[in-house]
Amino acid sequence: MSIDLDSVTYEVVTKLVGPILPAGETNTDNVRFENLKAMTKLVGLLVIDIEEVATEKNSHMYSVKRAGEFASTFLTKDLGIEE
């Protein structure tokens, strides 16, 4: 049996943070707005970590360069963040 870590990580984070999609009911949406703020803060911190790795894309060390290039490509192509 194989565990899909991407799926497990997503499930754990969404359960910890809670739902973020507004439901159209004020009290529920107030809670979900706070959840959204928490989720965006987490994503922002993760992006900062990935940006730090991306600075290594021109490293002379293969494994460091590989990680840097991967991070840089993720930021620019997947997220559309300009360098």
Q: Report the alpha-carbon distance of residue 83 to residue 80 in Å, rounded.
A: 9
Report the predicted TM-score, pTM, of the whole model to 2 decimal places.
Answer: 0.85
- The pLDDT assigned to 82 comes to 86
Q: What is the DSSP-derived secondary structure letter of residue 56? A: T
List pLDDT tens digits, range 60-72: 999 999 999 999 9
List pLDDT tens digits, range 34-44: 999 999 999 99
- The pLDDT assigned to 7 comes to 85
Q: Which residues of 57-72 are buried (b: 16+ CB within 10 A; e: fewer)?
A: beeeeeeeeebbbebb
Length of the chain: 83
List pLDDT tens digits, range 8-61: 899 999 999 999 999 999 999 999 999 999 999 999 999 999 999 999 999 999
